[in-house]
Structure 1
Amino acid sequence: MSPTLLHALFEAAAYAVGFRLFLRERRRRALPALADRESSLAIGIGAILGAALGAKIAYWLYDPVYAFAGFPDWVHLLQGKSIIGALLGGLAGVEIAKKLDGVRGSTGDAFVWPLMLGMAIGRIGCFLSGLDDHTAGNPTSLPWGVDFGDGVPRHPTQLYEVLFLALWAALLAWRGDRLSRPGDRFRAFMIGYLAYRLCIESIRPIPFHYFGLLSGLQLLCVAGLLYYHRDIPRIAKDLPWPRK
């Protein structure tokens, strides 16, 4: 089976499993903001459109030289995407949809488990796709380095992410009930994932540096963490340790 087809199958499985889990979470949590069917549809459309646009913008920021080569070749320009951009774009799309539809209240907690499970499934597909997926890490001499087909052991950053998601999900399941506000599980997921990606991008190829320091994806992680900066101290206090 070709790497492209293999990746497509895992990506389709990630979407399918994530969507089914979201429907279950929506029923189980009975969030007021998702109770109305039309409002729920508007929020879903906002999430999808925002995620699609954000994923593309993030890739353009990540490798602008390649993305805009041959501009205005739109077929080439629409290649590539990033989960960081999809998450931030989806967040923006949901908030805009809620504002336009007059919806109040948090909806994020219903998305946490679907996103984490879907992302983990997708990253397994990325790992099995090899170098063609452009998600492998830099060369390494560590014993768990993986040869993706070019004879060079590399950091299996896709598996690092699966491991991180599993550990972060376990922490949220164990301590999540201590988070004090509606939507805090989603905020904790986003803060943890953005912090993780900010760090892990340093062992992945960076085709274009901004300010001589950071990749476009790292800049987006910084922007996302700044968006949540008021929530970070509260969540850091509540999540890892019991309240006294």
Structure 2
Amino acid sequence: MEHKDFLSNFNQITSREFPLASGASTNIDNDLFASWWSDQYTIFYTDKLNQLDHATIKLEFLGKYPNSTCLVTGSGNDGFGNYIIEDGKYDESTKIFNFTKSFKDSNIMKQKYEGQYSHSMFFGKWGTTSDPDRGKFIIKRVSDKIELLTGKWSGYYFYYDTHIGRNQMFFELTAYKNPDGNGNIFTGYGNDKSGDFTISGTVFENGVASIKKIQGKNSWNYNGHKKKSQMWGTWGKVESGGIFLAWKE
């Protein structure tokens, strides 16, 4: 699922279920943007001899600014060594993406990556100041390949009545085939800033997700959708609820 498709679904849900909460949309949209893109990615790159190498890179997108550009940071390790991401930017309007790898070993020359986003991946060319077209690269989100419910998840929930921002949560699920044949049921446990919780629910064949979260004497209903390795939707009511989204790790 693309970011624009997620936002379209998100806007349809929130306008229908939270029509009085539109005032908080700007801050929430920026947090959603950062939450959606920040993840572990696999990076493939080639040099002029067409030698293919790949490694995992963690990218952190730091929110969207008025001109549709956000800053990108991160870190990773490849055949050259350990590095951090500097001068990273992504423009959601033009889909242009660029950053610089700065290596822990100062003897390794910095590498500049320039490209764009399309078809669920970033791609373009990379090189150094002295050799700007050394090879090509492709960066793809690792979690896009994961389809099953069972396993570790992380995500965020948001309040509509405040500007607190995103609240992180972690949970682990064990899924089973629904006895009535319609989708899968699951149980699990997790934690957030309020403490530990248990979680249970159903993901139906049409992708609709119905979830119950119990934390101490309190419980909340989460209703939304699941597609591939993402879940998103709403929780609670306008007076004491908001929206949520989560990805499988």
Please indicate, yes or no, whether the TM-score normalized by the shorter chain is above 0.5. Answer: no
> TM-score normalized by structure 1?
0.29
**Larger relative CO (CA 8 A, sep 6+): 1 or 2?**
1
More strand by share: 2
